[in-house]
Structures are given as C-alpha cells and as structure tokens.
Chain A
Amino acid sequence: MTSKGTQAENLDHRRWIEGAGQLTGEAEVGRSSPERTRAVNEVGSAIAHQLNGPLTALRLYVGELRRHGGQFGVTAESQGQLQQLVEAAFQETERVCAMMRVIADSFEEPLCPETAAALGRDVITWWSRSGEARGRDPQDTSAVDALLTPREREVLGHISQGCSNKQGAVRMQIGPRTFESHRFRIMRKLGAKNGADLVRIVLGKRR
C-alpha cells in the first residue's frame, strides 16, 4: 500500500465517520443516545484497529531508514540533507503513532473484538469498492441490493458515502423529502432500526 493511498484512505475515513454521525443523528431523533454512542464507538475502534497495520509498517520502515539512512547519501552534503529529511519523517511518524495510541485507547470496549475487527475490514473493503464505483452505478449485486429498486439503490449509494438527506437530494436532483422517503423505505425493506443499523447492514453485518 502506498503512503499516498493510505493518506487518501485516512481522509475518506474521517469523512465517513462524520457521515455516520449525521446518519445516526438524523435517524435517531428521540432514540436512545447510548445506542448511537455504541455504534460510533464500534466503527471508531474498528477504524483505529485498521489503521494500526499501515502505521506499524510505516513506523518500521521509517525507523529503519533513519538508522541506516546515512549509507544512502553519496556526498557529505546530500547525506546531511537526507538525514534531515529522514529525521523529520521519523518524528512525524512517531507523532502519528502516539496519536493513534490515544485514539485506540479512547474508545469503549466493542461488543466483541472480532466483530469490531471484522467491521473495520468491511469499512476498508467497502471504501475501496465505493471509491472505484464512485460516479458509476452502485455495482453491488448482493442480497441487499436485490430487495431494492434501482432508485433506492442509488439513494443507498449516497447514504453509504455519508450523505445527509440534503446532500443526497442535491446529488440526485430530487427534493430532500423524496430522498428521505426513499431512505425510509430502504430501512423498512432491510429491517434497519436506525441510521447506524442501516450502515451496518450495508457493510454486510446483519443483526
């Protein structure tokens, strides 16, 4: 995995968490907030879990470069410059890893570690898939999609990308009310109790 790709994924995840917050916030008006907290925690800890792998790899590579970086420079000057760059990259890596630990420690215990780990993998898989599929029709041919009309699939695609009712409506050039009613029908068809539940179902984890 390139560092560029990882960076893009991080950004995507942040957007996705924000999107998930919107989903739960909107759909769970009047619903219990612990449920929402739990959903956000599970997704959060899953993402923290997922990021640990690439971060570990990055830390190992940069640490190794820093220790043996001197061997790569040809002239004394270029060697000095290279050392500076390596040192800067190393310090940044250490900083990100320290932040990662704080993040990983700040989530509540997931219902089940295996579930959180699996959910994290789903998030990655789903993101790479939706990244490829962006701008095209939702390409998923799963059982979930078989239940939905093409229009509902389109709505679900926007919801999965973290769109609010308003954002989704603008994208599809329909009214927010219409978008909302599509969403309501999707939730009823898929048996989702709320927005977070819908996301879980879309990610393939059914209750």
Chain B
Amino acid sequence: MDPLDLHDTQKTAQFARTAKRILVIDDDVSVTMAIQAILIRHRYETVVASRAHAGIHTFRAAQFDVVLIDLFMPGMNGLDTITRIRGESVVPIIAMSGFRLRNSLDPDRDFLGLAKLRGATTSLRKPFSSPQLVAAIEHSLGLAQADEGALQ
C-alpha cells in the first residue's frame, strides 16, 4: 500500500550521490518537528524555518531541492512567500494547508488551488500522512529532474 518501504528507501539512499535538501517553512513547531523526523528517516537533509522571512533568507543562503511552505503564517503569508521564491527560482514548491473553502468550486478561492496559481508545484492538505509527504517530495524531485533533462 505504501509507495515506499524502508528497504526501498535504503536502496535509494545507497545510490544517491548526495542527500537531497528540503526546506520546510511553517510556524507550527509540532509540524516542522514531525516532518523533519520523517524526512530524516527517509535520508533527506532537512532545514526548517518558522517564519516566512526567515525561510526566504535561508532559501537564498543555501541550495535546496524542494521547499515546503505552510500557507498560513504570521507576518508574510505563505502565498506571498511562494510568489517571492518562484520569482527567483524554479525549485519545486509544495504548499501545505488545512483550509479548503466550502462552497468554493471556483479554484481561485481554494487556497491550495490558489497556491498552485502562484507557482506551487503541488500541495499537501493537512493533516497529511507520511506516505503522502514522501510521495509529494518524490513527485516534486522527479519533475525537477525531468525539467533538467528537457533543458539538456
């Protein structure tokens, strides 16, 4: 049922030259800690930021393969953060949110849909499971590789 078990993970890690780096921007520490715990087990290098501005700063300071962004944070909101990061990079962005508006069949009023319009690669609706988290990251990494292949 799981798209990936530990055996596969170890195999992947063995063949990977360097661990992929993931940036997680979410003001909820319980979420970032849990994500970090899962991603470490799956051999990803994880860096967390608890504020949008700090996240953008961290993003500029180092190289990342995927960025996870919560849509609702104090200060700058997640949608603006996505716009900013998309403005400077083609890095895959995963938007995270628990909100989806009732009565909003219009995708413009669905926050996760809105995030995609701003340039998010894919989205994760909270509360998400660890297979969903890992699948979203692998999907994003796969897309990024496909893009690189297309450019070469």
A43-83 contacts to B, CB under 8 A, are 45, 48-49, 52-61, 63-64, 67-68
**Chain A residues within 8 Å of chain B by Cβ, number:** 33
B109 at the interface (CB under 8 A from A): yes
A55 to nearest B CB, angstroms?
4
A118 within 8 A of B: yes
Contact assessment for B102 and A106 in the assembled complex, using a CB-CB cutoff below 8 Å: yes
Residues of chain B with a CB closer than 8 A to A56's CB: 30-31, 34, 98, 126-128
**Interface residue from A64, A101, A108 paired with B38 (Cβ < 8 Å):** A64
At the interface, yes or no: B139 with Cβ under 8 Å from chain A? no
User: Is B135's beta carbon under 8 Å from chain A?
Assistant: no
User: Do B126 and A52 touch across chains, with their CB atoms under 8 A apart?
Assistant: yes
- CB of B132, distance to nearest CB on chain A (Å): 9
Report the bound CA distance from A105 to B5 in whole Å: 32
CB of B72 within 8 A of CB of A60, answer no
- How far apart sit A61 and B36, CA to CA, in the bound complex (Å)? 11
> Which of under 10, 10 to 19, 20 to 34, or 35 or more describes the interface residues of B?
20 to 34
Interface string of A96-112 (1 = CB under 8 A from B): 01001100111111000
A53 touches B31 (CB 8 A): yes
* Binary contact track A27-54/B, C-beta < 8 Å → 1, others 0: 0000000000000000001001100111
Q: What are 25 inter-chain pairs, A to B, with CB distance below 8 A? A: A49-B98, A52-B98, A52-B127, A53-B126, A55-B127, A56-B30, A56-B126, A56-B127, A57-B30, A57-B33, A58-B127, A59-B128, A60-B128, A60-B129, A60-B130, A63-B130, A64-B37, A68-B6, A94-B129, A97-B129, A106-B102, A108-B102, A113-B71, A117-B72, A121-B74
Binding site for A on B (CB under 8 A): 2, 5-6, 26, 28, 30-31, 33-35, 37-38, 41, 71-72, 74, 77, 98-104, 109, 111, 125-131, 133
Known: A57-B31, A64-B130. 13 other contacts (CB 8 A): A48-B98, A52-B127, A56-B34, A57-B34, A59-B129, A59-B130, A60-B34, A64-B38, A97-B127, A100-B98, A104-B99, A109-B101, A113-B77
